[in-house]
Chain A
Amino acid sequence: MARVKLDNYVIADAPRLGPRGWLRWIWRQVTSMRVALILLLLLALASIPGSVLPQWPQDAAATRAFIDANPFWGPFLDATGFLDVFGSAWFTAIYVLLFASLIGCIAPRAVHHYRELRRPIAATPRSLARYAPVSEDSPLAVDDAVAAVRAALRPRPGRLGALTGYRVRLDRREDGALALAAETGAVRELGNLVFHTALVLVLLAVAYGTLFTYRGQAIVVEGRSFTNAVVAYDTFSSGALFDPSDLDPFTLRLDSLDASFSDTGRPLHFQANVTFTEPGEDPVQTDISVNHPLESGDAKIYLQGNGYAPVITVRDAAGEVAFSGPVVFLAQDAAYTSTGVIKVPDVSSGEQLGFKATLYPSFVEGPFAVASVHPDPANPVIEMLAYTGDLGLDTGVPQNVYRLDESQLSPVQDEDGQPVTLRLALGETVELPDGLGSVTFEELPRYGAFDLRADPSLPFLLVAAMLTLAGLATSLFASRRKVWVVARAEGGTTVVTGAAYAPAHDAGVAGVLERAMAAASGREPSPGAEEREQS
C-alpha cells in the first residue's frame, strides 16, 4: 500500500508544506477567530445533554435508575460520557482546545498591541472622501485652528485621561496644510486582552481548587457533637492534592435545631444553634442557617438539611436493652413523613432484629390511609415492621444505614401469617409478638445535616472573575474612534475639513467631530453635540 503523504497537493498552486509547515498551519487554524467561534458553539451544544440526562456527579441515584430502566441506551450513554458530560473526554477536549486557541490568540495580540502603543498613530489619510468629510471656513490661522482642535480633544480633567484620551499626530503637508489625526481605543483593546487573560485565570483557579478542595457531610443530632476528622464524616471527598492533616480538629456541638414552618407547612426558617470549639480556644456559641454558613479557617460549614432522629430503645426477649439511641430518619415529603431503619445486632438471646419504620410528625388517620399533615411534631407516631434473622452485617461489605438487607430476614407475623405493623406514639412502648421483646419511642430530637467544605481557590477565583467583568465592560463600552482635521489656507481664509470614523454602533463619534470642527472654527459646538458623544 502506498504511503499516504501528508501534503496540501489538493491546492495546486500552494507551496508544499513539510511537517513543520503543517504544524504551523494547524496552529494557525486553531488560533483563528473562525475556529474559536466554532469551538464556542460546540461548547454550548455539548453542555445541553448535561441538563437533559441524569448526571453521575449531580444525582447518582437517578443516573443508576436511568441506566437500569434503559438496558440499551443507559449503558451506551454511560460509556460515551453522556451521563457525566462535564467530566467527559469530549467536553474536556472542546474546552482545552478553546483555551489553547485563546492563549494562542491573546499572546501575539498582546505583543502587537504593546508595539502599536509605542508607535505613532497613522497619519491623516490623503483623501478623507471615504469618511463623509465636512468643511467650513475658519477665522483662525491654520496653526491656531489645529491647536484649538488639539486642546478640545485633550482629556477633560478627572477622567482616566492618559488611557481614555486621544493620541494625536500632526503632519505638515507640502502644500502648507496642517493635518491632525487623533485616535482613541487603546483601553478598549486593553480591556479585551484583560478579559481573555482573565478567562484563563478563571480556568486556572478552578483547576487549582479541584486539586486542593475537600468536602464532607455529617449528620449531627441535637445534643451531640461532631469532631472534624475524615473518619467522622458520613461521606468525604477531596481533591488529589488534599492533605488530611489540613483538617482543623474543631468540635461542633448541635445545641438545638430550630425549624419553623407556616400553618400550611411551608418552611420559614432553619437554624442550627451550635457550640463551636477550636483546639485551645474557648467554646463559642453561634448559629448556622441556610445562606449563613459558619466560617472556620479555610472551611465553611453549611446547614444543608434537617429532620427527625427519634430515640428508640429495643429490649430483647430477655428484657435486656439491646439498642438505645437516636435513629436518623430521612424526610420523604414536605410534611416530613420520614423513613428510617433500626438494626439491632446485639441481641442477648435469639436472632438479630431489624425494623423498617415510618415517622409521621403530625399523625392523622383517615379511613384508608395514615399521613402526616404538618412538619411540626404535633402528634408524632412511628409505624414499623419488625424482622428477625441475620442483618448481614458480618459480611464485611459496608452497608447503607438507611436500608435493611432483607435477604436473610423474615418479617414478624401474627397468628394469621400477616406481617405485624407496630404503632407507637411518643413515649409509648409496645411488645413484639412471640415474646421477642419490646420497642419504646422515647424522644424526638431533630438533627442537622452539615456540609463542610474548603476550597482554597475561592479568593483567586473571585479576583479572576472581577477582572473578567472589568475587562469585558471596558472592552465593550470604551469607544474606538478616529478623528481627522485638515486646515489649509485658501485665498486669505482658512478652510478646515474634518472627518471621523468609528464602528457602526458608535453614533457618538459625530458629536466628537462636531466639537473638533467647532474648535477649529472658533465657534460654539451646535447644541446637543456634547450629549450626542455619549450615545
Chain B
Amino acid sequence: MNPTDLSVAALSGATVLYAIAMVTYAIRLARVADDKVAAKAMAREAVAVGGGTPAAPSAPAASASSRGARAAKAAGIARSTTLVGALLHAVGLAARGIDAGHVPWSNMYEYTISGSFFAVLVYLIVQRKRDIAYLGAGVTGFAAVSLGLALTVLYKDVDTLPPALQSYWLVIHVSIATLVTGIFAVSFIATSLQLMRDYREQGELPVEGGAVQVAWRRWHNTLVRRYRRTRWLEAVPPAAQLEALSFRLNAVGFVLWTFTVMAGAIWAEHAWGRYWGWDPKEVWSFVIWVLYAAYLHARTTQGWAGRRSAWLAIAGFTALIMNFTVVNLFFQGLHTYAGS
C-alpha cells in the first residue's frame, strides 16, 4: 500500500472508531445518570422509611448495581475504541507526513487532521490523571466530525511547500497552534458542560423589569428548564468542578497561544519583513488572545466569575474556529495559502 492510501485508510478507520467511541461514551453517560438518579431515589426512600433497620436490598438497588456494571462496560469499550482510534489517527498523520515530505500541517486538510488528533491526545493525557470520561463523547464526537469533514470536504493531495512555508518556524509555530486548537477544543467541551450544569443548578428568575430584562430572564429560565430536564447531565460533575478543569486547560492553552502569536511574529519578521501587519489572520489571532485574556480576568472579577467568564471562553473558541474557517476561506491576506 502506498503512503497516500495508507494515510487515508487509517484516518477513515479512526473516524469510524471515534464515532463508535462517541456512541458508547454517550451510552455510558446515560447509564451513569440512571444510576445516580436511582441512588438518589433510594436515599430519599431510606429517609422516608426513617432510621429503622437497614432494608434488605430492594429490586431497584439490584438493578442499579447491574446498571453500574453496564456503565463500566460501556466506559471500557469506549476507552479502548478511542485508544485504537488514536493509534490509527497517528498512523494516518505519520503516513501523510512521509508522503508529503514535510510536517502534516501546511494546509486546511492537514491542520484539521492534526488538530483533531491533538484534541484526542490531550483528552487521553488528562484522562490518565483524573476521570474525565464524561468529556469522552464530546471529544470523540469532535474528532469524528473533524476527520469526516477533512476527508470528504477538505481533502487535498500532497504537495510541495511553497517557499514562504519552507522554514523551521512551520514546525514550531504551526505545531503549537495546532496543539492549542486541540487543548481549547477539549476545554470548550468542558466549558459547554459547565454552562449546562450551571443553568441546571440555577433557580428560575422572576420575570420582571424592563422589556430587555424580561426577554433576558425568559431566555435564562428557558435554559434552566431545558437543562433541568436533561437527564444525562446528572452524570457530569458540578459546574464548579468543570470550571476548575476548563481553567487548567485554558491556562495551558493561553500560555501556548501567547507563544504561538510571538513565534508567528518572529516568523513574519523573517519571511515578510515585518513582525506584525494586521493581516486578517493576525487580527483574529489577536482577537482570540484578547478574548482568552478577558476570560482569565473575568474569572477573578466580581460578578463575572463562573457563568459569564465561561461565556468568554466560548467566545474565544468561536473566534479560534472563525480564524481557521472563515478567515482562511474568505479573507484576503498573506496567509491565504493556508486555504489552498
| Residues of A in contact with B (beta carbons under 8 Å apart) | 33-34, 36-37, 40-41, 43-44, 47-48, 50-52, 55, 57-59, 62, 85-86, 215, 262, 266-270, 289-293, 300, 302, 304, 451, 453, 458, 461-462, 465, 468-469, 472-473, 476-477, 504-505, 507, 535
| B163–A290 touching, CB < 8 Å | yes
| B291–A36 touching, CB < 8 Å | no
| A86–B278 touching, CB < 8 Å | yes
Restricting to B256-274, which residues have a CB under 8 Å from any CB of A?
258-259, 262, 265-266, 269-274
On whether A266 and B251 interact (CB within 8 A), knowing A48-B283, A50-B283, the answer reads no
On whether A268 and B160 interact (CB within 8 A), knowing A44-B290, A58-B277, A293-B270, the answer reads yes
Which of A37, A44, A58, A304 is the one whose CB lies under 8 Å from B301?
A37
Q: How far is the CA of A148 from the CA of B164 in the complex (A)?
A: 61
Q: How far is the CA of A33 from the CA of B247 in the complex (A)?
A: 19
Which residues of A sit under 8 angstroms from B331, Cβ to Cβ? 51-52
* Count, A-B residue pairs, CB within 8 A: 125
The verdict on B226 contacting chain A, using a C-beta distance below 8 Å, is no
The verdict on B222 contacting chain A, using a C-beta distance below 8 Å, is no
The verdict on B66 contacting chain A, using a C-beta distance below 8 Å, is no
The verdict on B298 contacting chain A, using a C-beta distance below 8 Å, is yes
Which residues of B sit under 8 angstroms from A57, Cβ to Cβ? 277-278
User: Chain B interface residue count: which class?
Assistant: 35 or more
| A40–B297 touching, CB < 8 Å | yes
Q: How far is the CB of B299 from chain A (nearest CB, A)?
A: 9
Q: How far is the CB of A399 from chain B (nearest CB, A)?
A: 27
Q: How far is the CA of A82 from the CA of B132 in the complex (A)?
A: 45
| A267–B163 touching, CB < 8 Å | yes
Which residues of B sit under 8 angstroms from A50, Cβ to Cβ? 278, 283
| B300–A33 touching, CB < 8 Å | yes
| A34–B279 touching, CB < 8 Å | no
| A47–B255 touching, CB < 8 Å | no
On whether A472 and B255 interact (CB within 8 A), knowing A51-B331, A291-B164, A461-B275, the answer reads yes
Q: How far is the CA of A333 from the CA of B74 in the complex (A)?
A: 56
| A469–B255 touching, CB < 8 Å | yes
Which residues of A sit under 8 angstroms from B258, Cβ to Cβ? 468-469, 472
| A51–B159 touching, CB < 8 Å | no
| B332–A59 touching, CB < 8 Å | yes
Q: How far is the CA of A293 from the CA of B167 in the complex (A)?
A: 12
| A33–B297 touching, CB < 8 Å | yes
Which residues of B sit under 8 angstroms from A507, Cβ to Cβ? 130, 244
Nearest chain-B residue to A470 (Cβ)? B255
Which residues of A sit under 8 angstroms from B54, Cβ to Cβ? none
Which residues of A sit under 8 angstroms from B241, Cβ to Cβ? 504
Which residues of B sit under 8 angstroms from A476, Cβ to Cβ? 251, 254-255, 296
Q: How far is the CB of B167 from chain A (nearest CB, A)?
A: 4
On whether A505 and B244 interact (CB within 8 A), knowing A37-B297, A262-B160, A269-B166, the answer reads yes
Q: How far is the CB of A288 from chain B (nearest CB, A)?
A: 11
Which residues of A sit under 8 angstroms from B303, Cβ to Cβ? 34
Which residues of B sit under 8 angstroms from A304, Cβ to Cβ? 272-273
Chain B 282-326: CB-based contact to A (< 8 A → 1; otherwise 0): 011011001101101110111110000000100000010000000
Which of A266, A291, A292, A468 is the one whose CB lies under 8 Å from B160?
A266
| B167–A37 touching, CB < 8 Å | no
Nearest chain-A residue to B308 (Cβ)? A37
